[in-house]
Structure 1
Amino acid sequence: MTSTSTVDYQRTDGRTLRLTFAEPEGALRGGLVVLHEGNGVTDGVVLLVASLAGEGWLTVTPHIDGGEGLTQQDLLDATDITLEWLLERGVEADLRGVVGFDLGGTAALLVASHRRLGAAVSVGGQRVAELPRLLEIAGHVTSPWLGMYGDAGDEAGGAEVEQLRDAAASAKVATNVVRYAGANHRFDADPGAAEEAWQRTLDWFDAHLR
């Protein structure tokens, strides 16, 4: 398993952000930013960072304070700093992507609608309360975006995913929204769906980060 490291990255303007990252052992294919769930950088997030690095990507997750005071701008600022860290390591814009799971999935969609990156992937995420806002965001994504959602335990989930797919289809970049009937929003109740979502994630980055 690829090892991970944690650093406090300080920019020239004095801002500091804690980053956990893993480097691939072989050739560098590009760089990925992992946006973590609401519980912070958990063992699962660290495992994800290491797993993506094992696929050839320099992978990094910023430690973002997920408190009630977190704003959209805070999230974008943290992502920008992390992208700058990747750039300093030779990863150009078209080889940088972002991926988020659970709450981070919603964050990845937000970033994809405000920044031009090589690709973005959302796996799960909040939908019910956020749907009107997500529909607006999805129609204006500026980075190729893949969204994957489970709808188990949510009778309205399937209809909401279809609305999100329709909204994303109006964007001027490549998009794809996949619904997994029977999988929950964290994809931990259906190993088959989780495995397929993982492969779709890798395929999306393979297709767009080049």
Structure 2
Amino acid sequence: MTLTHTDDYQRADGSTARLTFAEPEGVIRGGLVVLHEAEGVTDGVKLLLASLASEGWLTVAPHFAGEDVTSQDLLDATDVTVAWLTDHGVEADLMGVVGFDLGGTAALVVASHRRLGAAVSVGGQGFTELPTLVEIAGKLTSPWLGMYGDSGDETGAIEVEQLRDAAASAKVATNVVRYPGANHRFDADPGASAEAWQRTLDWFDAHLR
């Protein structure tokens, strides 16, 4: 099993940022920034880091504040993490960002403000802020895959379709997949969860090369 490690990374200005990372056992295909959920870098996030590392990706999760995090906080944390990946020899076009749950919303924010090789959002809280998410999706600057459950209700389905339409207006490749009946964490639908995982791997395979 791939192990995760946590360390402090010293920035150019002398300050430090806490990062948790996992390294592939073989050749590094590229680097992935993993944006965590509201509870922080949990065991589940560490498992995600390890699982992606087992696929050949150097994975790293920045530690940032919980639900009160701002867009600028996310961008600052991502910039530091990208600098760490650069220091470890990963080229810019081989870097991506991925987030699950609240991290899924965070990944969408990053993908609309930074130019990375690929981005993936799996689920995401914050649909009460849907007009903001729709506006962000139309300004995507990184190829983005979004996968969302609609919780089995009509309102959820309409919201996901609105997000799909907004993303389609961006000038980069996008794909929004809706899973009828799945919740935002996908934990009640193993089939949807497994398919979302494979779609995530396929998206990075296609765009980070």
TM-score class, shorter-chain normalisation, is over 0.9
User: How many angstroms does 1:63 deviate by?
Assistant: 0.9
Write the mapping of 1:12-161 to structure 2, written as runs, cut at 5 A: 12-66=12-66, 68=68, 70-152=69-151, 154-161=153-160
CA distance in 2, matches of 1:200, 1:127: 22
User: How many angstroms does 1:75 deviate by?
Assistant: 1.1
Is the CA contact (8 Å cut-off) linking 2:102 and 2:126 kept in structure 1?
Answer: no
- 3-state secondary structure, aligned to 1:163: helix
Question: What stretches of structure 1 move > 4 A for 4+ residues in a row?
Answer: none
User: How many angstroms does 1:128 deviate by?
Assistant: 2.8
Q: Where in structure 1 are there 5+ consecutive unaligned residues?
A: none
User: How many angstroms does 1:127 deviate by?
Assistant: 4.4
TM-score by length of 1: 0.97
CA distance in 1, matches of 2:36, 2:170: 25
The reply to whether residue 175 of structure 1 matches residue 174 of structure 2 is yes
1:103-160 CA-to-partner distances (Å, cap 9, x unmatched) read 0000000000000000000000024311000000000100000000001154311111
Aligned match of 2:8: 8
| Alignment-mate amino acid for residue 99 of structure 1 | V
The count of corresponding residues between Structure 1 and Structure 2 is 209
Write the mapping of 1:189-204 to structure 2, written as runs, cut at 5 A: 189-204=188-203
- 3-state secondary structure, aligned to 2:170: coil
Deviates more, 1:151-160 or 1:32-41: 151-160
| Alignment-mate amino acid for residue 144 of structure 1 | P
CA distance in 2, matches of 1:67, 1:44: 17
| Alignment-mate amino acid for residue 65 of structure 1 | A
Q: CA RMSD in A?
A: 1.0
- Percent of aligned pairs with the same amino acid: 80
Is the CA contact (8 Å cut-off) linking 1:127 and 1:160 kept in structure 2?
Answer: no
Q: Where in structure 2 are there 5+ consecutive unaligned residues?
A: none
CA distance in 1, matches of 2:56, 2:17: 24
Aligned match of 2:186: 187
| Alignment-mate amino acid for residue 40 of structure 2 | G
- 3-state secondary structure, aligned to 1:156: helix
| Alignment-mate amino acid for residue 188 of structure 1 | D
- 3-state secondary structure, aligned to 2:171: coil
1:148-178 CA-to-partner distances (Å, cap 9, x unmatched) read 0001154311111111000000100000000
| Alignment-mate amino acid for residue 123 of structure 1 | V
Aligned match of 1:163: 162
CA distance in 1, matches of 2:202, 2:54: 15
CA distance in 1, matches of 2:192, 2:54: 21
